[in-house]
Structure 1
Amino acid sequence: MKNLSRLFFALLLVVSFNVNAQDENNPWKIEIGANAVDLYPVGEDAPLGEYFDEFYNVTDHWNFLPSLSKVSVSRYLSDGFTISAAGTINRIDKVGDSSADDLSYYGLDGTISYGLMNLINSKTIDPYLGVGGGYTWVDEIGAGTLNGTVGVNYWFSENVGLTAQSSYKHSFEDYLAKHWQHSIGVSIKFGGKDTDGDGIYDKNDACPDVPGLEAFNGCPDSDNDGIEDSKDDCPNDAGLAEFNGCPDSDSDGVADKDDDCPTVAGLKALNGCPDADSDGVADKDDNCPNEKGPAANKGCPWPDTDGDGILDKDDQCPEEAGTVANNGCPEVAPTEEVMKQLNEYARTILFDTGKASFKEESMEVLAAMTAIFKEYPQADFSIDGHTDSVGSKSTNQLLSERRANAVRDYLIANGINADRLTANGYGEDYPIASNKTRNGRKNNRRVEVKLK
């Protein structure tokens, strides 16, 4: 047992040194398990057999020690190559079919192996081939060996697996028989590189040079608000996820960095400032914060009797809605530009197919047209409807009239005097584009506005 103690003391030194030499991602592996020695299938004469003869005759030929009997440590080098050192103990009580006198067996071996895991494109099955040498003692008589190895690691997880291995050990001395040694054991990989010391190996660390949190793959969260710094617009001030990590001190839905009044709850439209009288002027800029008034007058009210947006003090026709261009008085007739605008709106009015009912998206256009008509209360207009040539001419004529009247009815319902409006339908008689194309027919389906 003296040699056994020496062997495991040497292995303990090796393991202790290797555990502290961590400079790559999980480069170290420790295996603890059991081994079996088989002296039979080595190509010798009886009582031994030819190479691989009865290779799996476990019951008759394999020598076991019913306890922990193998410890090995491995270091990954590069490009699939690994170097390992292993210590084994056993007891030889059978040589082939013959018995032996419980001879002690100690082995210390080194191996350089090449992994085939990448070649078979697997993440769990890790076969390897190896070559090496060592020194084996049988009944305290030792000799060097040349070893050939084949094995496989099966990884249950990233760091824990099962290793099975078979080695042919060719002795350089006649007094030590050639033999096979098989082993199986639990393997643990460790020693990953952690540059920033945050407990997350560099290979899994999205921020390997800065200490961080496991929840953020090793990236930091300086203000501890649950948002990693790289995604945090305010990395040094704890904030809310909805504001990308920035705080909202007054809880008004506007982040402090965008809030002109960060200590007083306010409105988003006013950059976080309050508007007590709801006149659209922030209290800080409102000379009359409790009384509605226009922004032009710093939040204080001015009368605008006709509601045309021109204060009475500036309105030459304060009792009659007008335009700014005409100093508050109504324009007698729209300009050519206004008419052009009206017709641009009119051509975008959409009706339901074959009907005079408006599509929902036309409501905004009709409202804009109504506003223009109201600016010229003394002007009279003609609403003209046109169709494409699809369908019968009589049907198209009727449809164009109905659509023109639908626009007129809308304008009347929204405040335009009926006496100012007439409606006409011209069917398919006045196309502005070819009815042979889809786009041409679309252009021909239109409403036009003319001055009377």
Structure 2
Amino acid sequence: MKHLNKLFAVALMFAGLATQAQDSNNPWAVSFGVNAVDTKFSASEKFEHQIAEYFNVQDHWNILPSVSYIGVSKHVGNSFSIGLTGSVNKIDRFVTKVPGTVNSHVVTNPGDLSYYAGDLAIKYSFMEMIKSKVFDPFAHVGGGYTWMGDASAGTVNGGLGINFWFTDNVGLSLQSTYKHSFDDTRTPNVDVASHMQHFAGLTFKFGGKDTDGDGIYDKDDACPEVAGLKEFNGCPDTDKDGIMDSADACPEVAGLKELNGCPDRDGDGIIDSEDACPDVKGSKMMKGCPDTDGDGVADNVDKCPEVKGPKDNAGCPWPDTDGDGVADKDDKCPTVKGTVANNGCPEVSEATMKQLNDYAKTILFDSGKSTFQQQTFPVLQAITAILKEYPNSKFSLEGHTDSDGSEETNQVLSSSRAEAVKAYLIENGIDASRLTSTGFGEKYPIDTNKTRAGKANNRRVEVKLVK
């Protein structure tokens, strides 16, 4: 039975749960190190005397020069953890009181008593209370079972300790536990004496899940599957512009906070991806491009960026070939200088009309016919040349006769002679749309029909400007 109990203690050492500190990020902890058993610490003595002898290592402490405790613990929430500690030792310094005295004691060797213990404890950590990431003081209470030589007994335990965390997962643990035995005659191999047990060792925390390996546990990681930064609760900032990717409109290009993480190389307040001219400062109206000439056409599409021009002509002024102040696109006569009032075409003056009609009066027809006499062709050519100077003007050709012959005959003759002049002009380059012809016969004489000279004046072709 004795050996069975010892085997049970060893099993506790490897399967038990230790009380060293851990947290919700790393809920499990494994501790191992050395322990010291001080049998002088007894409730039968005054507390001040016990404290005075607390560090009397040479006289009272029993220490094995090897790893002598081990365990694993589990955090259960709100700074509490629970577990068991398994430990072994050898008692060769056993403190007993001198009979008949109050504080006198004597240290004896009880025969190198074997020591095994399995202890359950509930621990409360003050680390969160003191807002420290290095110092972790704690208190614990619990109970256990101890074998001391041939004796064994249950104990009620309580104590204090502190962890010094070198990293988030590794720390140095120091702990003192008072174990009170209720059957304490302090007789070796008969009962288990109340005693103090001290622990010093290393604690390793583990069990925290960090899927993306960024050092931030999944439960605190806002982006648990993507490696990120602590300042962004585990979310990434790919372009390292201080704006996490989820709030960054341009996560792969460093930018400005006021532009939602997007860059603006030219500083015009328009992000590069929306800026048609990202390297030249411009305006929002021009999609980030400048408009040097102020014509409302951005320089990047303005073929004449330094000269104002309409958008319809790519920012360039419309050409005015004849220089009359009317752009070619609006100039009915783009190669002939004219006036704005006449759509860029020259206006026919009274002097020009007089000249036309002076020529027209000299047009000679064969008698009673609408064919021209030979000497008339130079006159017709002169009229043609004048009409070509006014390509946008329209003219009416009016035929007249004297009163010789019947009125019906004269009407037909006047119409055919006006039509003959029109036909000649068209054949020589005058647009037909610009000309009309009509005959008035003998209705509108300009001289008397009683004399030869008067009749000659009445036989005529007149040129009228159509407005």
- Band the TM-score falls in, shorter-chain normalisation: 0.5 to 0.7
- The aligned counterpart of 2:204 is 188
- The aligned counterpart of 1:292 is 307
**Larger Rg belongs to:** 2
Q: 1:161 aligns with which of 161, 168, 171?
A: 171
1:88-237 alignment, distance < 5 Å: 88-96=87-95, 97-118=107-128, 123-139=133-149, 141-173=151-183, 175-192=191-208, 194=210, 199-202=215-218, 205=221, 207-208=222-223, 211-214=226-229, 216-221=232-237, 224-227=238-241, 228-235=244-251
- The aligned counterpart of 1:241 is 255
* Distance of 1:43 and 1:170 partners within structure 2: 8
- The aligned counterpart of 1:439 is none
* Distance of 1:128 and 1:251 partners within structure 2: 57
- The aligned counterpart of 2:64 is 65
> Are the counterparts in 1 of residues 175 and 198 from structure 2 also a CA contact under 8 Å?
yes
> Are the counterparts in 1 of residues 157 and 180 from structure 2 also a CA contact under 8 Å?
yes
* Distance of 1:54 and 1:23 partners within structure 2: 34
- Describe the superposition over 1:75-96 as per-residue Cα deviations: whole angstroms up to 9, x where unpaired: 2223332213111111111112
Cα distance change of structure 1 residues 163 and 178 upon mapping to structure 2, 3 Å threshold? same
> Are the counterparts in 1 of residues 86 and 119 from structure 2 also a CA contact under 8 Å?
yes
How many residue pairs end up in the alignment?
Answer: 293
Cα distance change of structure 1 residues 251 and 31 upon mapping to structure 2, 3 Å threshold? same
> Are the counterparts in 2 of residues 127 and 152 from structure 1 also a CA contact under 8 Å?
yes
Letter in 1 for 2:309: P
Query: SS in structure 2 opposite 1:128?
Result: strand
| Unmatched 5+ stretches in structure 1 | 304-310, 315-452
1:42-441 alignment, distance < 5 Å: 42-43=42-43, 54-96=53-95, 97-118=107-128, 123-139=133-149, 141-173=151-183, 175-192=191-208, 194=210, 199-202=215-218, 205=221, 207-208=222-223, 211-214=226-229, 216-221=232-237, 224-227=238-241, 228-235=244-251, 238-242=252-256, 245-246=261-262, 255-260=271-276, 268-269=282-283, 270-272=286-288, 281-282=297-298, 285-286=301-302, 288-289=303-304, 292-295=307-310, 298=313, 299-301=315-317
What's the CA shift for 1:65?
0.4
> Are the counterparts in 2 of residues 225 and 245 from structure 1 also a CA contact under 8 Å?
no
Q: TM-score, normalised by structure 2?
A: 0.51
* Distance of 2:71 and 2:260 partners within structure 1: 51
* Distance of 1:279 and 1:42 partners within structure 2: 100
> Are the counterparts in 1 of residues 144 and 155 from structure 2 also a CA contact under 8 Å?
yes
> Are the counterparts in 2 of residues 291 and 300 from structure 1 also a CA contact under 8 Å?
no
* Distance of 2:171 and 2:309 partners within structure 1: 77
Cα distance change of structure 1 residues 241 and 290 upon mapping to structure 2, 3 Å threshold? closer
- The aligned counterpart of 2:40 is 40
What's the CA shift for 1:192?
3.4
Query: SS in structure 2 opposite 1:60?
Result: helix
- The aligned counterpart of 1:31 is 31
Cα distance change of structure 1 residues 273 and 116 upon mapping to structure 2, 3 Å threshold? closer
* Distance of 1:52 and 1:290 partners within structure 2: 94
| Unmatched 5+ stretches in structure 2 | 96-106, 184-189, 328-467
> Are the counterparts in 2 of residues 93 and 101 from structure 1 also a CA contact under 8 Å?
yes
* Distance of 1:129 and 1:23 partners within structure 2: 15
Q: TM-score, normalised by structure 1?
A: 0.52
* Distance of 1:115 and 1:142 partners within structure 2: 31
Query: SS in structure 2 opposite 1:169?
Result: strand
* Distance of 1:177 and 1:50 partners within structure 2: 18
> Are the counterparts in 1 of residues 115 and 148 from structure 2 also a CA contact under 8 Å?
yes
Please report the RMSD computed on the Cα atoms of aligned residues, expressed in angstroms: 4.6
* Distance of 1:128 and 1:72 partners within structure 2: 17
Query: SS in structure 2 opposite 1:100?
Result: coil
* Distance of 1:194 and 1:8 partners within structure 2: 34
Query: SS in structure 1 opposite 2:92?
Result: strand
Q: Percent identity?
A: 46
* Distance of 2:78 and 2:239 partners within structure 1: 42
